[in-house]
Chain A
Amino acid sequence: MTKEDQLQATVAFAEINKRADSQPGLIKKVNAVIVFDVTKDGKIQKSWTIDGKQGTLYEGKPKEGTTAQVTITVDDNDFVDLASGKANAPSLFAKGKLKVKGNVMLAQKLSTLFKEQSKL
């Protein structure tokens, strides 16, 4: 068992994919290419790419021809808090637990992935 398999973020991203399956167009709402570098014990363990332009979410760095517009580096535990709503991005950022590279304003729409969307 490598350390990678123990990441809670893996489960969290699977959850988000499940949510996206039942709501087509959900990932496109993010409307940006965001990369998450999830760390554990200070070292980057795995990356995930949320491609809001294509509407896909996958493990790893952005594919050929896609550039990340925002890269967020966060610890595994903090990421789970973020995804479940227990913590919010600005407060994590203020505490130094979340590092952002690129256009941070584009990360605003991320919450649509972490929350259930209501219907008119």
Chain B
Amino acid sequence: MTTFKPLVDAECGTTNPLIKLSELYKEDKKLVIQDGINPSLINFSDTNLTINSDTIVDELVNEYHRPIIAPNTFHLESLLKDLHPSDPQYEWTKQFLDSCSTYDLPSSPPQSLTLYEQNYIQSPACFILHPNPIFLDQQPYPIDAEFNNDTVEATNNILSLLQESQFAANTECKTSVNDINVQHDTDALNENKRQSDANLSLFNDQTPSSQLSSGQLNNHTGYKFIQPNPFFDYINPYEEGLKHLEVHDIVNAILFFEAAVQNKHDHTDAWLCLGITQSENGQDVHAIDALKKCIELDSKNTQAYITLASCYANKMLKREALNSLHQWLINHNKYSHLLSNHRLHSIRDIEIIFEDLKNLFLQAILLSKNSNTIDSDLQVCLGILFYLYDDYNKATECFNTAILAKPNDALLWNKLGAAIANSGLNEQAVNAYYHALRLSPGFIRARYNLGKSCLNLNAYRQAIEHFLIALKQQNNVYSQMSDDIWHTLAIAIDCLKRPDLIEYVRYKNLSKLLHEFEIE
């Protein structure tokens, strides 16, 4: 026992060294759960830390602008697991849950839930690459046309957060908001409108400073049809196309819509559907061509403009995307009057156009705030605007808000996933993509995005499986598979260190690859 004397012996007045040592390993029960993040839940493994220092800086600096996940992900139960029964917090939370159960949760959330909706941010460790069963099994948050006060409050809080952030400090924004209330002079209104119209015509010029692909886009001779088209002689190709969309058969739907517009060149709806479906298929160039045709026939088609904006954003064609967003606003009967109050600055500086559009959309949101409804298209426009300028956090918030109004829109879930993924949070994005795919299993783009996020997370095998399924869905005697997907598949197979399979990729031998990865 004398060997242990130095350990257990203490100098007068101090604790013995052994106790001091044990203090290093004691669990600090005082660790506070702040903002819903339980420090013990955070798993600092390599997969969670991305090299995007943006995320870290953003986390530190922009705490209040963390992506707020759609309402049905709030899990008090998982927080409870980490509290011990003797912990005083447990009693309180248990009481809260008990009181919750007396409410009919799906239809009217308890008052206090909205506070937690804002503060709760799910920790990254809760997301695994397999679809989170809790997340998926929950019913989509039922939204009625009339929102109860709690949802409205939550939405208002999100909106006010948007406004409180740095750009709102810009006095220009504040004054323009005030301008709406102040300006009554009709003459001034007309003058502004004339000026803004004049400035707008400049939008149509394709300046040489546009990116290379914009020039290529101009040289396009229009939509390129698939030849031959097996459905060319069908009686009602448009209706057939819609039916195929219902069963998530994107590739054949496209063939039908193409047949429809070839038979009837001024079939506006068919061009619109063709554009939207090609975008779901991941073919932005074709989508843009089709949507441009739609707009030629119907220059007020707001749905076409909003889809165009997202396609241009994908192609990083900022000017064209801004123009489309602008056209959406002009042609929207609820918000077009805002433009008469607002003088649009000269077009040369893209940054100023961005500021102007941002302010206009915010004004529009204020308008819809008064009527207690969420205009999901408006939120999507603002989201695309932020996405265009790489502000993925704000884009995420916008898409989240849009989803509140339309929780069953697969396109929205994909947009949300894209914004989250590009901000570096690939694990969270995976959940959004699964949501999109559950709603629309034939959604090629969402599946491709899902694969890309898996690839970013170094989950090579899963990435490959997703790419292969997407290619399989696209595989059709008449139409081509996407080169982009093949390309990324090659990268994934390279990462998996299977050079033996590269041969199959080079010759696009899909069946061999499907067999290799056991996909029927």
Contacts and interface: CB of A to CB of B under 8 A. Distances in A.
Interface string B53-66: 11011000000000
Contacts of A29: 316, 390
28 contacts: A15-B494, A18-B487, A22-B488, A24-B212, A25-B315, A29-B390, A82-B51, A84-B458, A85-B50, A85-B456, A85-B458, A86-B458, A88-B56, A89-B51, A89-B53, A90-B53, A90-B56, A111-B50, A115-B52, A115-B456, A116-B453, A116-B456, A117-B422, A117-B452, A119-B282, A119-B445, A120-B384, A120-B387
Closest 7 CB pairs of A and B: A25-B316, A116-B452, A88-B51, A118-B418, A111-B52, A118-B421, A120-B310
Interface of B: 46, 49-54, 56-57, 211-213, 282, 284, 310-311, 313-316, 384, 387, 390, 414-415, 417-419, 421-422, 424, 426, 429, 445, 448-449, 452-453, 455-458, 483-484, 487-488, 491, 494-495
Given A88-B50, A116-B452, A18 B491 contact: yes
A18 B424 CA distance: 21
A85 B49 CA distance: 8
Q: Which size class do A's interface residues fall under?
A: 20 to 34
A120 to B, nearest CB: 4
A15 B46 CA distance: 21
B211 A88 contact: no
Contacts of B422: 112, 117-118
Given A114-B51, A118-B453, 10 more contacts: A22-B488, A25-B213, A25-B315, A88-B56, A89-B53, A90-B56, A108-B57, A111-B50, A111-B51, A119-B418
Contacts of A110: 51
Contacts, number: 99
Interface in A77-120: 82, 84-91, 107-112, 114-120
Given A28-B316, A108-B57, A111-B54, A91 B49 contact: yes
Interface of A: 15, 18-19, 22, 24-25, 28-29, 82, 84-91, 107-112, 114-120
A89 B57 CA distance: 12
Contacts of B310: 120
Contact of A108 (B54, B314, B387, B415): B54
B314 to A, nearest CB: 5
Given A116-B452, A118-B418, A120-B418, A22 B51 contact: no
Contacts of B424: 111, 115
B488 A116 contact: yes
A114 B448 CA distance: 17
Contacts of B51: 82, 85, 87-89, 110-111, 114
A71 B296 CA distance: 49
Nearest to B57: A108
Contacts of B419: 120
A78 to B, nearest CB: 11
Contact of B213 (A24, A85, A87, A118): A24
B236 to A, nearest CB: 31
Nearest to A114: B51
Given A24-B212, A111-B50, A111-B424, A118 B390 contact: no
Nearest to B492: A116
A15 B491 contact: yes
